[in-house]
Amino acid sequence: MDAGFIKEFFKRNGVGMGWFLIIAVGFWVVVLIILPQISMFDFSFRNDLPPPEIGGPKDVYTLKNYQYLIFGADGNPDGYNKTDLAVFGKTLLAAAFVTILDLVLCYPIAYYLGQSTGGGMARLFVLLLIIPYWINEILRAFAFRIIFGDSGVINEMLMVIGIIDNPIDFVRENIALYAGLGYAYILLMIFPMYNVIESLDRNQIEAARDMGASWIKIHRRIVIPYAKPGISSGCTMVFMLSAGALAAPQILGGPSSLWFTQIIYQWFNQSVNWPQGSAFAAVLLVTCIIIVLGVMRLFNVNMGDIGK
């Protein structure tokens, strides 16, 4: 069967095209996706050695990089590496918060756009949605830094109105970060939902309304169940990207709050301990995968729905 498939493959594509496809896909899948990930995991189990000692007697596998994440450096009086673990937990929680924030923000818009008849206004809205997404991630974060700065528009406005006397430090309170992260991934939340809701037959809603269902009931019983693949696809993407975000926390994060990716970044760029950084990255990757698979199992959605 396998050989038959390969024969059929070359028959369908011809020899030249067939090889081209196999080489291009093979390069992508093996050399760019699989091998680097394996290599990173492999690296995370190694000692941090200077280049001449790599491959030498000291180059043995070790669990110490993972032990460090859990227990901290040797002789740590706390017993656990509270700082890093706390950052890790906080990152995941914050990412979940951003995901929920985006979901709540975007659902009405996705519903409105999906159920509108696609006239000029709706097209304009879609365009307006896309435009911010094309602007550089750094610049988007920068915009939020301007807005939420002490002399930013929001503080100025609140002070003019007289609600506050002194500027609120939005950055320290992480409000700027949440707003910025939520902003960055709005499109990734809206579009999967929009695509699904668009295909929902308007008559179903009409019928439900006809039978006297309230708006809440219509959404709970008809629209949301139908949009489930889109919702979970959007949530998955937003969660993964928020948890893996680096630029926004670097720019908008308060001095007291670190993002887990920032710690990884420090291991690579400041402490220059690659194996340690790889271990942290591996933990981030595996955790995210587990969470996403869990959510997909929970909502009974499969991989094919992602990226629609």
Partner 1 sequence: MKTDSLLIRIGLGFYLVLFFTYLLGPLVLMSITAFNSPSFPQATPWEVLTFEWFNVLYNDARIVNGIKNSFIIGFFTVILSVIMGLAGALVLTQIWPKIRATFYTIIIAPILIPGVVLGISTLVFWDRVNVMLGLPNDSFLHNGILLTVLGQSTFIASYCMLVFVARLQRYDLGLTEAALDLGATHTQAFRKIQLPFLAPAIGSASVLAFLASFENYNTTTFTFGKYPTLTIELAQKVRYGINPSISALAFIIVCLTVLFALVHEVRNRRVQLAIANGAPVGAVTSGFKLPKIFAGNPVAVVLALFVAVAVAVISYAQFYDPEPAKAIILQEKRAAQQLRIEELQRKLKDKRLQKNLKGPDIFNEGKSKIPKLEEKKQKTPFGSGIFSPNNLNKVAPGAETPAPAPKPASPFGSVFDPTNLNKVAPKE
Residues from 124 through 183 that contact partner 1 (CB under 8 A): 124-125, 127-132, 134-147, 149-153, 155-156, 159, 166-167, 169, 183
Within 8 A by CB and 6+ apart from 308, the residues are: 192, 195, 196, 229, 230, 233
- Judged by beta carbon, residue 73 or residue 160, the one nearer partner 1 is 160
How far apart are CB 149 and partner 1 at their closest, in Å? 7
How far apart are CB 166 and partner 1 at their closest, in Å? 6
- Site residues for partner 1, 60-89, by CB under 8 A, read none
How far apart are CB 249 and partner 1 at their closest, in Å? 11
Could you say whether residue 194 binds partner 1 (CB under 8 A)?
Answer: no
- Site residues for partner 1, 21-60, by CB under 8 A, read 21-22, 24-25, 27-29, 32-37, 39-40, 42-43, 51, 54-55
- Site residues for partner 1, 257-286, by CB under 8 A, read 261, 264-265, 268-269, 274, 277-278, 281-282, 284-285
- One of 12, 161, 203, 211 touching partner 1 (CB under 8 A): 12
- One of 63, 121, 272, 290 touching partner 1 (CB under 8 A): 121
The interface region with partner 1, picked from 69-77, 79-87, 221-229, 300-308 by CB under 8 A, is: 300-308
- Write phi, then psi, for 215 (nearest 5 degrees): -60, -40
| # residues near partner 1 by CB under 8 A | 106
Burial degree of 125 (CB within 10 A; 0-12, 13-18, 19+): middle
The answer to whether 48 and 275 have CB atoms below 8 angstroms apart is: yes
The interface region with partner 1, picked from 67-75, 77-85, 197-205, 297-305 by CB under 8 A, is: 297-305
- One of 56, 112, 204, 290 touching partner 1 (CB under 8 A): 112
Could you say whether residue 307 binds partner 1 (CB under 8 A)?
Answer: yes
Signed CA dihedral, 249, 251, 254, 257: sign only: positive
Could you say whether residue 229 binds partner 1 (CB under 8 A)?
Answer: no
How far apart are CB 227 and partner 1 at their closest, in Å? 17
Length of the chain: 308
The answer to whether 190 and 106 have CB atoms below 8 angstroms apart is: yes
How far apart are CB 116 and partner 1 at their closest, in Å? 11
